[in-house]
Structure 1
Amino acid sequence: MSINRRFFIAGTGAVAATAITAASAHAQDVLQNILNSPRRGNWDDQFDARGSQQVARVASTLPIMSMETIMYTEQAIAQHNDLAAQGGWNLVPATKKLEIGVSDPDVVPLRQRLMISGDLPQSAGISPAFDTYVDAAVKRFQARHGLPEDGVMGEFSYKAMNIPVQTRLMQLQRNLQRLREESNKDYGGRYVLVNIPAANIEAVEGPRVVSRHTGIVGKIDRQTPILDSKINEIIINPYWHAPVSIVRKDIIPLMRKDPTYLERSKIKVFGPNQQEIDPSTIDWNTEEAARYLFRQEPGDINAMASVKINFPNSHAVYMHDTPQQSLFWNLMRFDSSGCVRVQNVRDLVTWILRDTPGWERANIERQMHSGENKPIPVSNPVPVHFKYISAWSTGNGVTHFRDDIYAMDGAAELQISTL
């Protein structure tokens, strides 16, 4: 975009201030309106399909790294600040599983909590019935918090829901600072964003996200780094070279338990002179193996599966496919050694190679099926950014929160998956 960023920030200031004032006035009325909300009568009166139609969609094509996101996040901060001043939202008893069809007194505080956060229309009223309105509202809440949208109140939904508004306000403020810092950088019109706490990847073109991909990022003790680089190479059917950290932490202990592990995993060992070494000649009771190169051959069980996405960086990390596709359905996707696994990676690779002659989707698929290793230089390297944004807003009352997996936001209760 050709608009000067600083000018844009100044130009949107008046608009943002007006919007924030309106949002604050609305927030000040929310709690009182909920307290005065009419109580519903019979359960049957509300068990219908209209509930899902009354809840705004959470999905958005707005990039996280945008001036609009900054403005909407400022509005969200104003709303949460006013809610905090009024005492915040109520706690929801986390004593039982609640789902559609249930009638239980605990649904009353659940309704109140969902109304305060804007997930349930106040017109839905207060009653003990977990009807279609509550079901849709819970799913909306779950979507905003990166949880499975099943409409069931379980452990992680309760934990996310019962974090105090003051803590959420602090989280928004910390992340607004990060967003503002990034606004001084020129991301260009086409880039890839890896949002680490969301375990999500955005392919951005101009003012919109053209595709989103579920990701798997680093464990707490093997964190995915924050970085900026450019994707300069795609490798189809890659060899996998095990980092020294994995050799020490994983391969050596596995070989001590199972001497056939390397053979079964199609991993070869090479010495400094590039000559292959017989694993049986290595003393696995020491760290001798850390001196050697471990290379896994291309194939179905390769740790990177069909694709590796390379970009220069000092952390030796990259993005890649995985043979363990079921991991993308896990609730907490913090399971790698620092690199980023990408769901539907072929769609992303096709987009990255769009301007590289001879590598349209059909040729990419053909090369993958060949099983042969093929490095492809990217004609126009695509910027890639690994960032840590755990709270932001996309407007229309939609504020997103994610697990503060690496404890960068300053409150232990935000590390939901480790509690």
Structure 2
Amino acid sequence: MSKKSGIVDLSRRAILRGAAAAGAAAIAGQAVAQTAVDELISAPRRGNWDDQFDAQASRATASVVSNTPMLSGSNLFNFQDAIQNYQAIVSNGGWPQVTPAVKLKIGVVDPSVQQLRQRLMISGDLDRGAGMSNSFDTYVDGAVKRFQARHGLPEDGVLGEFSLKALNVSADTRLMQLNVNLQRLQEMMSKQLENRYIVVNIPAAYVEAVEGDRVALRNTAIVGRDTRPSPLVDSKVSDIILNPYWTAPRSIVEKDIVPLMRKDPTYLSRNNIRLIDGKGNEVSPESIDWFAPKAPNLMFRQDPGKINAMSSTKINFPSPEAVYMHDTPTQGLFNKLMRFESSGCVRVQNVRDLIVWVLKNTPGWNRQEIERVIASRVNTPIKVTDEVGVHWVYLTAWSAKDGVVQFRDDIYGKDGNAQLALQTNIGVEQVSGSVEDDILPQ
């Protein structure tokens, strides 16, 4: 840790061992936070706070979302402006560490709120006209929500442990992060992007569908954990498979399925997974010695259906690592704050919206026909007739809107600063849930 920065370690993963299952219920958090605001404003006695409490100030959190894609060339200008701004902040001594003795949220009066106000003013999240006081009012609440939105955190206005750690990353560390990611973006901009393309930002764990340099769709995603990372990809969609079969990779057969069969010989049949030999014949699980030193040299193929690892949809594209994008039967995973749980493939929330967009220029495949085929449970490959690019990128900092800089954790430790990297154990290596490309049922 740099003596100059005095940074509290950003790593969230040690904390997430206890919090991962709880998820990041951002929408619910916003609703609860707004209820708290309304109660404070309507209370007959609010104490002797010297700051106004304005419901609109809390509701009108400045949007950090833009219709400009992450990979738009216009972002290079935003990036350079952000770097100049952060250089000025660093030259002026950075921002203060926020060290509250109590949890800071709407209605709290504490001397550390002045530290928080100063910190948020310097980063541009709180208007300097909000003034300095010890009161956590609705203006501070709105500024905290804006900060949380820029860092991929639940926008609940509460300065919890995750928000505090992100807040206390020093300005010089953030400046370093911006410079590293500007180089990444410049390299990406040297490539010719398609008019229509899908981009997965791995650290942000979300997907953009882009058309004509505008974002048409955004989808939450689940990407590879650090021990099985998602690779960088530049490719094009080849086909969509509705009701796909799932073929278990050899690594999953050895690490996951064989140990499960040793515990429960009914595992394969319960999960509609068939064993297929090299001639295409089905092999009975009972004929296999599951305690042999090596896993059987057979294909482990799961039938289409609700419990299939890819559920309704698979999006195929050529890649050296043979990765793909897909649906999932365990939709609850999308509510998690840390969505780094796959074996490298990318699961997409509301994936049917995405495939409707991908197939819009492929004759005969409107939403109604797609839904009809999915309901039939019949395996159906569809060749995509127009060019749709696929780009999996690694950006932990970007600016798609003037004056708004987004930051994410360096989940694979590529930024060169340990204070931005996550710890190695998130506590999701256990086998649970339903069949996935990496997480199998007990």
- Give the TM-score range, shorter chain: 0.7 to 0.9
CA distance in 2, matches of 1:198, 1:230: 21
CA distance in 2, matches of 1:96, 1:331: 23
CA distance 1:56–1:134, shift in 2 (3 Å):
same
1:49 aligns with 55
User: Contact 2:51 / 2:135 at 8 angstroms: preserved in 1?
Assistant: no
SS of corresponding position for 1:133: helix
TM-score by length of 1: 0.87
Letter in 2 for 1:252: V
User: Does 2:177 match 1:171?
Assistant: yes
1:259 aligns with 265
User: Contact 2:275 / 2:283 at 8 angstroms: preserved in 1?
Assistant: yes
Q: Which of structures 1 and 2 has the larger relative contact order (alpha carbons within 8 angstroms, sep 6+)?
A: 2
1:18 aligns with none
CA distance in 1, matches of 2:358, 2:254: 34
User: Does 2:376 match 1:354?
Assistant: no
User: Does 2:347 match 1:341?
Assistant: yes
User: Contact 2:413 / 2:422 at 8 angstroms: preserved in 1?
Assistant: no
User: Contact 1:94 / 1:155 at 8 angstroms: preserved in 2?
Assistant: no
Letter in 2 for 1:362: Q
2:414 aligns with 408
CA distance 1:397–1:225, shift in 2 (3 Å):
same
Pairs within 5 Å for 1:7-86: 42-43=48-49, 45-52=51-58, 55-86=61-92
119-128 or 287-296: bigger deviation: 287-296
Q: How far apart are 1:253 and its partner, in Å? A: 1.9
1:152-181: per-residue Cα shift (whole Å, max 9, x none)?
111111111111111111110010001111
1:23-76: per-residue Cα shift (whole Å, max 9, x none)?
xxxxxxxxxxxxxxxxxx942742221323664211101111112111101111
1:273 aligns with 279
1:111 aligns with 117
CA distance 1:254–1:97, shift in 2 (3 Å):
farther
Letter in 1 for 2:235: S
Q: How far apart are 1:302 and its partner, in Å? A: 0.6
Q: How far apart are 1:256 and its partner, in Å? A: 2.1
2:233 aligns with 227
User: Contact 1:230 / 1:384 at 8 angstroms: preserved in 2?
Assistant: yes
Which structure features the higher share of helix residues? 1
SS of corresponding position for 1:253: helix
SS of corresponding position for 1:57: coil
Q: In the alignment, which of 387, 390, 403 is matched to residue 384 of structure 1?
A: 390
Letter in 1 for 2:236: K
1:150 aligns with 156
Q: How far apart are 1:373 and its partner, in Å? A: 0.8
46-55 or 199-208: bigger deviation: 46-55
1:367 aligns with 373
CA distance in 2, matches of 1:217, 1:325: 14
Letter in 2 for 1:260: T
2:329 aligns with 323
User: Contact 2:243 / 2:374 at 8 angstroms: preserved in 1?
Assistant: yes
User: Contact 2:66 / 2:401 at 8 angstroms: preserved in 1?
Assistant: no
398-407 or 380-389: bigger deviation: 380-389
CA distance in 2, matches of 1:47, 1:401: 29
Q: Which runs of 5+ in 1 are unaligned?
A: 1-40
Letter in 1 for 2:106: I
Q: In the alignment, which of 199, 210, 229 is matched to residue 204 of structure 1?
A: 210
CA distance in 2, matches of 1:90, 1:416: 23
CA distance in 2, matches of 1:293, 1:312: 21
1:245 aligns with 251
Letter in 2 for 1:345: V
CA distance 1:290–1:124, shift in 2 (3 Å):
farther
SS of corresponding position for 2:74: helix
2:133 aligns with 127
Q: In the alignment, which of 285, 291, 308 is matched to residue 297 of structure 2?
A: 291
User: Contact 2:194 / 2:387 at 8 angstroms: preserved in 1?
Assistant: no
CA distance in 2, matches of 1:297, 1:54: 48
CA distance in 2, matches of 1:387, 1:145: 18
CA distance in 2, matches of 1:122, 1:371: 58
SS of corresponding position for 1:350: helix
Aligned residues: 379
Q: How far apart are 1:381 and its partner, in Å? A: 3.4
CA distance in 2, matches of 1:405, 1:94: 27
CA distance in 2, matches of 1:379, 1:83: 50
CA distance in 2, matches of 1:287, 1:348: 43
User: Contact 1:215 / 1:333 at 8 angstroms: preserved in 2?
Assistant: yes
Q: What is the aligned-residue RMSD (CA, Å)?
A: 1.6
CA distance in 2, matches of 1:412, 1:149: 26
Letter in 2 for 1:322: T
1:122-160: per-residue Cα shift (whole Å, max 9, x none)?
111111211111111111111100111111111111111
Letter in 2 for 1:163: V
CA distance in 2, matches of 1:418, 1:46: 44
User: Does 2:131 match 1:136?
Assistant: no
CA distance 1:296–1:114, shift in 2 (3 Å):
same
Q: Which runs of 5+ in 2 are unaligned?
A: 1-46, 426-442
